[in-house]
Structure 1
Amino acid sequence: MPVVFFILYAIAVWIAVFLIRRRWIALITLALSLAPIGGFSHVCVLFLPFAQSEPAETWLYYVALAYAVVILCVGLVIALRPPRLPPGHCHRCRYDLSGIAGTVCPECGAAIDTSTGAGATAPLDSEHKVKPAAT
């Protein structure tokens, strides 16, 4: 049962970071979420009875460090992900395509999908222009 706590803690941190992603407070929250991990592992080393035949209790710090690295790496990926684009924006340059009559994004030149109104559905060549359709 105690193992579930570690999974739930990681999920709670990641949900909190997801809700405030792309802001400085998300990175601060992520950094502060590592403090309980260090504190908990230190308390365990101080107060858990270790037998003399067991190896030094520093292994517990390594386990806590690995756990913290996993939380930090996944949390950074979540915190730095851009928010979803509202409908009608170019997927390549995020330009608002509402009211655009053409079939090409005026900002980056990506093809506009007429069914969704979103750009960058066609692959682009090295000059960032729409590749001609294969015949």
Structure 2
Amino acid sequence: MIPLFVGYALLVWWPACVWRRRLWGFLAVVVGSVGLFGAIVLHSYIGAVLKQRGIDIFTPVLQHLLWPYMLMVGGVGLFIAALPRRYAEGRCHACGYDLAGAAPEDRCCPECGKEIPVQTKSSRCAICGSSALSPYVMEGVCPDCGSEFRQPPSSERVRARQEALWGRAPDQAPLERGREGSFSAPHEPPHGAEEEDQEREPADHRPAQSAAL
């Protein structure tokens, strides 16, 4: 009995989630609730007919379970169907239209006419950190620093920002941090150290040369 109740609820809630904020999502909830109401009426009718023939199937017991169950399935289904839709990055927040080729000065979706948000968390230049980029333009030139950009996915965007700050790949930074205790560049020998070694080397070898003579 429990798998039947759980399975029917998922059968109603799944299309409501897939088609939320659309007619098909609300229609799935209505059809599921009407189906449960029909099952309640049919069960009550069958119980009344069998009781007239001397067979009691304890109709009120299941009736007390079906009515709250119908209200729960319908209420949760309406809540799921009313949830806002979230589209992937680079698409219109209202209709999901692909805005990869939109110009930076465009402020409305060409498909539905809804206003495009001016700024999001991902609309920053990876070089200078400027927030003047259009969040739905994947390639272009930063208006502040003039560097060409191509906004990668979220995981790659963090890596690009770290490379711009550290000047190296972020996976190399922990190794250098453990060796040197900081993110500074590897230590280089002072200028002219090699030349001093070369000048000192002939002097060290002079006794050997005089002995040979």
Percent of aligned pairs with the same residue?
A: 20
Distance in 2, matches of 1:96 and 1:63, equals: 51
Q: What is the TM-score when the length of structure 1 is the normalising length?
A: 0.56
Give 1:50 shift.
5.3
Which residue does the alignment assign to 1:95? 117
Distance in 1, matches of 2:87 and 2:118, equals: 10
Alignment of structure 1 residues 1-135 onto 2, 5 Å = 2-48=1-47, 49=50, 57=59, 60-87=62-89, 95=117, 97=119, 101=125, 102-103=130-131, 116=154
Higher helix residue share: 2
Q: What is the TM-score when the length of structure 2 is the normalising length?
A: 0.38
Distance in 2, matches of 1:19 and 1:104, equals: 34
Bigger CA radius of gyration: 2
Kept after mapping to 2: 8 A contact 1:13/1:30: yes
Give 1:65 shift.
2.4
Number of aligned positions between the proteins = 104
Kept after mapping to 1: 8 A contact 2:43/2:59: no
Structure 2 gaps, min length 5: 94-114, 135-152, 158-213
Kept after mapping to 2: 8 A contact 1:14/1:78: yes
Give 1:100 shift.
5.5
Deviation above 4 Å: which 4+ runs of structure 1?
49-52, 56-62, 96-101
Distance in 2, matches of 1:80 and 1:105, equals: 32
Distance in 1, matches of 2:132 and 2:42, equals: 61
Kept after mapping to 1: 8 A contact 2:40/2:66: yes
Which residue does the alignment assign to 1:123? none
Per-residue deviation, residues 8-28 of structure 1 (Å, max 9, x unmatched):
000111001111111122112
Equivalent residue letter for 2:71:
V
Which residue does the alignment assign to 2:144? none
Give 1:61 shift.
4.3
Higher relative contact order (CA 8 A, sep 6+): 1
Structure 1 gaps, min length 5: 107-114, 118-135
Q: Secondary structure at the match of 1:82?
A: coil
Equivalent residue letter for 2:5:
F
Kept after mapping to 2: 8 A contact 1:85/1:94: no
Distance in 2, matches of 1:105 and 1:80, equals: 32
Distance in 2, matches of 1:79 and 1:18, equals: 6
